[in-house]
């Protein structure tokens, strides 16, 4: 009963592996059929798939060419924006000291394009007036009548000179006329530009509300961080801001003024607008005095819209403006042919490993082949899931990492099988050799794989973006290799060791004790060999020679010491 316990445990482990595999396929199926955002094939990177190229021309606020430091900052922020949109393996570089070239795998959607191009400085402005985006309306007499201008008397009596960013005194007759003429639906008039110390006429990013905003009171530089999350009480999605010291002080003063406007019923002058690229991306009401520099924006957010707003606020502080020089679809730089060559190379490598395994380990080599096959299935489905959840895209460097991992995976099994054979040479049974060989091999393999993972992490952190794909797939497959080694290879060996073919040491099993030179009773005592025939003596001689060749230095020294001791004892007995 005790001997069957490892077999029952092995079957339970293999059942667990089957459940894990089914769960991974189930997760990806949810992404494919439920969210319709995943796929049963890995997403390809720019070098294999082609994609979209956007060339941006950057200028500073005073119209001068940007410095190298400003361009580097722009590249960093745009890369963060692209990563935040779920696009991986994007290539963002500078060109000609003024342009930024953004290359994205696949076809960039409008949201991603807008996020890349929304590179003007983020501004905080108070709302003075908000109205319908129309420019005129039809009266009861059927005649066209200009859309009514903001009525100062409906809010407060304007002062001669504006005293703050919410003061109605900013709304002059000229500004009223510009407000009436401003058309949110006109692509050529979709945003107004104004100096930071003057009012701004603009619309929200959906074109449904038209605003008159006061002068800029804070810039996006005041934001240290912006995150999205659920409100612990209501459960609604919110956006939380963290301001720097200067921003905390100024925003505290603004919040006091706007909250007082709310108490006085002066809507919409209790709103504070976040303006990016001349458009209002959010204009929340001030519902409290916020003096700690951590305002929270609430509203009818979904998870996606909350994350989008948080990213816009977090990465919007860039003191450069951009114009789109070109936006084109580009062909793959390496293309389908190179991908096919890489896959063929991987199949050749896999075939060579299979042939070597069968020649060296006979039927035992099928365990290596099966382990690599299971690893391939898990790696494939995990890459599909990562493409859906993290935007991972497989580049040619990543394909190279997968090919290299085949050799690393086979290496683990070879270490394990050689440990088993060493135990057989020591005279142990096959079942005992499997368990003891596992105990000796796993320490070696864990140390080896830890070094591989460390190398992959260092390479991913320090290497160029073109090499990151190699480092990522190498690290991923190394982790899966260890997982397969523990949850598949060893349990399979525990089961096979108790079969007649492998456990009986068949000549084709790869575990034949005689073929391996297992001539020990112990490490220091040879088996007694019956030399009744010449053939039997020759066979035992070959086995003894194999065992001697397999001895370690320590074993050989011990054998010499025991031989010398036996000789001394024999000499002493002879003198008596």
- Which tokens sit at 453? 């993972």
Q: Are residues 195 and 315 in the same domain?
A: yes
Res 250: pLDDT: 94
Q: Give burial (CB, 10 Å; 0-12/13-18/19+) of 463.
A: middle
The pLDDT value recorded for residue 120 is: 54
Task: List pLDDT tens digits, range 316-328.
Answer: 666 677 778 887 7
3-state SS assignment for residue 89: coil
Contact predicate 520/447, CB 8 Å: no
Residue 125's contacts (CB-CB under 8 Å, 6 or more residues apart) are 165, 200, 213, 214, 215, 216, 217, 272, 273, 275
Tokens 């112990």 sit on residue:
522
Domain boundary among 71, 89, 117: 117
Q: What does the pLDDT read at residue 156? A: 43
Alpha carbon distance 471, 329 (integer Å): 28
Residue 147 binned pLDDT confidence (cut-offs 50, 70, 90)? very low
Considering the domain boundaries, does residue 513 fall inside one?
no
Question: Does 254 lie in the same domain as 142?
Answer: yes
Whether residue 427 is predicted with pLDDT greater than 60 in this model: the reply is yes
Give whole-number Cα distances, 378 to 383, 404, 413, 527, in Å: 9, 17, 18, 46
Q: Can you tell me the distance from the alpha carbon of 239 to that of 306, in angstroms, rounded to the nearest whole number? A: 6
Does one domain contain both 304 and 226? yes
For residue 575, tell me if it sits in a domain: no
Reduced to 3 states (helix: H, G, I; strand: E, B; else coil), residue 211 is strand
In this structure, the answer to whether residues 405 and 491 fall within a common structural domain is: yes
Q: Which helix (H) or strand (E) holds 17?
A: helix 5-29
473 and 562, same domain (yes or no): no
Could you tell me if 349 and 467 lie in one domain?
A: yes
- Per-residue pLDDT reduced to its tens digit, 75-129: 877 876 777 666 666 778 888 777 888 888 777 777 777 777 765 568 899 999 9
Whether residue 535 is contained in a domain is answered as yes
* Domain interval for residue 553: 520-568
**For residues 79, 82, 88 and 94, what is the CA-based torsion angle, rounded to 10 degrees?**
-40
Mean pLDDT, range 555-575, rounded to an integer = 62
Look at the block and give the residue holding tokens 């301001």. 243
Separation between Cα atoms, residue 253 and residue 243, nearest integer Å = 13
CATH of the domain at 496: 1.20.1640.10
- Among 71-75, 132-136, 206-210, 342-346, the least confident range: 132-136
Say which range, 2-16, 175-189, 413-427, has the weakest mean pLDDT: 175-189
Residue 532: the pLDDT is 39
For 237-280, the three-class secondary structure string (H helix, E strand, C coil) is EEEEEEECHHHHHHHHHHHHHHHHHHHCCCCCCCEEEEEECCEE
pLDDT of residue 573: 52
The yes-or-no verdict on residue 380 having pLDDT over 70 is yes
* pLDDT per position as a tens digit, 496-536: 999 999 988 888 988 888 887 765 444 444 444 434 344 44
The mean pLDDT of 254-282, rounded to a whole number, is: 89
pLDDT tens-digit map of 46-68: 778 778 888 888 877 667 778 77
Helix (H) or strand (E) run with residue 201 in it: strand 200-203
From the list 54, 125, 69, 101, the residue with the least C-alpha distance to 318 is 69
Please state, in angstroms and rounded to a whole number, the distance separating the CA atoms of residues 67 and 98: 8
374 pLDDT above the threshold of 90? yes
- The reply to whether 297 and 227 lie within a common domain is yes
User: In 3-state terms, what secondary structure has residue 328?
Assistant: strand
- Residue 316: its pLDDT value, please? 65
* SS3 (DSSP) at 565: helix
Domain count, the chain: 4
Q: pLDDT value at position 318?
A: 63
Q: What band does 550 get if pLDDT is binned at 50, 70 and 90?
A: low
Same domain, 339 and 488: yes
> Which run of H or E residues covers position 218?
strand 210-219
Q: Is residue 427 part of a domain?
A: yes
Domain boundary among 94, 117, 140: 117
Answer whether residue 285 is part of any domain: yes
Residues 450-473 have a mean pLDDT of 87
Token pair for residue 266?
């002066």
**What does the alpha-carbon distance between residue 295 and residue 289 come to, in Å, rounded to a whole number?**
9
24 touches 38 (CB < 8 A): no
HSE of 422, CA atoms in CB hemisphere, 13 A? 17
Q: Alpha-carbon distance 170 to 212, whole Å?
A: 9
Task: Based on the fold, state whether residues 319 and 181 are members of the same structural domain.
Answer: yes
Report pLDDT for 138: 30
Together in a domain, 197 and 273: yes
The mean-pLDDT minimum among 126-135, 411-420, 425-434, 485-494 falls in: 126-135
- Which residue shows structure tokens 């930024």? 100
pLDDT at residue 192 above 50? no
Residue for token digits 């990013």?
A: 205
Q: Which residues contact 261 (CB under 8 A, 6 or more apart)?
A: 166, 267, 269, 270, 286
> Which residues sit opposite 280 in a β-bridge?
204, 275
- Look at residues 56, 86, 117 and tell me which one is the last residue of a structural domain: 117
Tens of pLDDT, residues 403-420: 888 888 888 888 999 999
pLDDT at 153 over 50: no
**What's the pTM value of the predicted model, to 2 decimals?**
0.58
Phi, psi of 523 (to 5 degrees): -70, -20
Region 219-233 average pLDDT: 87
Residue 573 lies in a domain: no
Q: DSSP assignment, residue 71?
A: H
pLDDT of amino acid 247: 92
Whole-number Å distance between alpha carbons of 255 and 250: 9
> Does residue 35 share a domain with residue 50?
no
Give the percent of the chain with pLDDT over 70. Answer: 78
The residue written with tokens 């979209």 in the block is 52
Residues in CB range of 155: below 8 A, 6 or more apart: 168, 266, 269
Share of the chain above pLDDT 90, in %: 30
Instruction: Say how far apart CA 63 and CA 320 lie, in whole Å.
Output: 9
Distance, in Å, from the CA atom of 564 to the CA atom of 468, rounded to the nearest integer, reads 60
**Top mean-pLDDT range of 298-302, 442-446, 534-538, 557-561:** 442-446
- What DSSP assignment string belongs to 491-539? HHHHHHTTSHHHHTT-TTTT--TTTTT--EEETTEEPP---SSHHHHHH
Q: Is the pLDDT of residue 11 over 90?
A: yes
- The mean predicted confidence, pLDDT, of the chain is 80
Judged on CB neighbours under 10 Å (0-12, 13-18, 19+), 99 is middle
Query: What six digits make up the tokens of 160?
Result: 């001669």
> How far apart, in whole angstroms, are the C-alpha atoms of residue 539 and residue 536?
5
Write down the pLDDT at residue 150: 47
Strand partners, 508: none
Identify whether 192 is part of a domain. yes
pLDDT of residue 495: 94
Work out the widest C-alpha separation in the chain, in whole angstroms: 143
Give the CATH number, domain containing residue 61. 3.30.70.3220
**Where does the pLDDT of residue 276 fall: very low under 50, low under 70, confident under 90, or very high at 90 and above?**
confident
**Could you tell me if 230 and 364 lie in one domain?**
no
pLDDT > 60? residue 561: yes
Close Cβ partners of 351 (under 8 Å, ≥ 6 residues apart): none
Q: How confident is the model at residue 566 (pLDDT cuts 50, 70, 90)?
A: low
Mean pLDDT confidence for 352-364: 90
Confidence class of residue 148 from pLDDT cuts 50, 70 and 90? very low
| Residue 485 near residue 412 (C-beta atoms within 8 A) | yes
Which one is predicted more confidently, 111 or 229?
229
490 touches 9 (CB < 8 A):
no
Residue 524 contacts residue 562 (beta carbons within 8 Å): yes
515 lies in some domain: no
């Amino acid at each position: 009963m005790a001997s069957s316990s490892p077999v029952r445990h092995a079957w339970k482990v293999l059942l667990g592996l089957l459940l894990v595999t089914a769960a991974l396929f189930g997760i990806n199926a949810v992404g494919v059929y439920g969210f319709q955002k995943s796929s049963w094939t890995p997403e390809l990177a720019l070098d294999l798939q082609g994609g979209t190229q956007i060339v941006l021309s950057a200028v500073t606020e005073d119209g001068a060419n940007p410095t190298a430091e400003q361009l580097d900052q722009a590249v960093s922020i745009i890369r963060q924006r692209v990563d935040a949109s779920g696009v991986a393996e994007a290539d963002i570089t500078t060109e000609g000291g003024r342009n930024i070239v953004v290359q994205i795998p696949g076809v960039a959607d409008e949201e991603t394009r807008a996020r890349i191009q929304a590179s003007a400085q983020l501004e905080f402005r108070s709302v003075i007036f908000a109205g319908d985006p129309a420019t005129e309306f039809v009266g009861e007499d059927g005649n066209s009548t200009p859309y009514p201008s903001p009525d100062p008397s409906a809010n407060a009596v304007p002062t001669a000179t504006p005293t703050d960013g919410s003061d109605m005194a900013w709304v002059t007759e000229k500004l009223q006329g510009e407000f009436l003429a401003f058309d949110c639906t006109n692509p050529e008039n979709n945003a107004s530009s104004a100096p930071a110390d003057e009012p701004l006429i603009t619309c929200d990013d959906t074109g449904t509300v038209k605003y008159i905003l006061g002068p800029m009171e804070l810039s996006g530089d005041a934001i240290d961080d912006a995150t999205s999350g659920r409100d612990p009480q209501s459960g609604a999605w919110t956006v939380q801001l963290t301001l720097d010291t200067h921003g905390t002080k100024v925003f505290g003063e603004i919040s006091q003024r706007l909250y007082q406007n709310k108490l006085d019923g002066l809507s919409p002058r209790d709103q504070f607008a976040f303006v990016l690229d001349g458009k209002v991306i959010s204009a929340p009401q001030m519902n409290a005095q916020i003096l700690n520099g951590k305002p929270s924006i609430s509203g009818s957010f979904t998870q996606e819209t909350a994350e989008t707003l948080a990213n816009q606020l977090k990465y919007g502080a860039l003191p450069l403006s951009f114009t789109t020089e070109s936006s084109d679809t580009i062909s793959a730089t390496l293309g389908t042919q190179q991908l096919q060559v890489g896959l063929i190379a991987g199949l050749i490598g896999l075939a060579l490993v299979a042939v070597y395994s069968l020649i060296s380990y006979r039927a035992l080599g099928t365990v290596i082949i099966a382990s690599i096959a299971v690893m391939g299935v898990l790696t494939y489905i995990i890459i599909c899931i990562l493409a859906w959840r993290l935007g991972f895209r497989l580049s040619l460097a990543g394909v190279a990492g997968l090919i290299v991992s085949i050799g690393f995976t086979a290496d683990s099994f070879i270490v394990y099988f050689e440990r088993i054979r060493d135990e057989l040479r020591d005279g142990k049974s096959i079942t005992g050799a499997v368990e003891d060989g596992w105990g000796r091999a796993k320490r070696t393999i864990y140390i080896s794989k830890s070094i591989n993972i460390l190398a992959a992490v260092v390479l991913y952190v320090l290497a160029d973006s073109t090499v990151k794909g190699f480092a990522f797939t190498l690290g991923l497959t190394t982790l899966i290799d260890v997982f397969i080694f523990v949850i598949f290879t060893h349990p399979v060996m525990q089961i096979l060791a108790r079969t007649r073919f492998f456990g009986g040491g068949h000549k084709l099993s790869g575990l034949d004790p005689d073929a391996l030179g297992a001539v020990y009773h112990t490490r220091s005592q040879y088996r007694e060999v019956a030399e009744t025939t010449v053939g039997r003596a020759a066979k035992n001689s070959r086995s003894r020679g194999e065992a001697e060749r397999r001895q370690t230095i320590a074993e050989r020294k011990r054998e010499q010491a025991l031989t010398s001791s036996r000789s001394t004892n024999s000499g002493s007995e002879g003198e008596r």
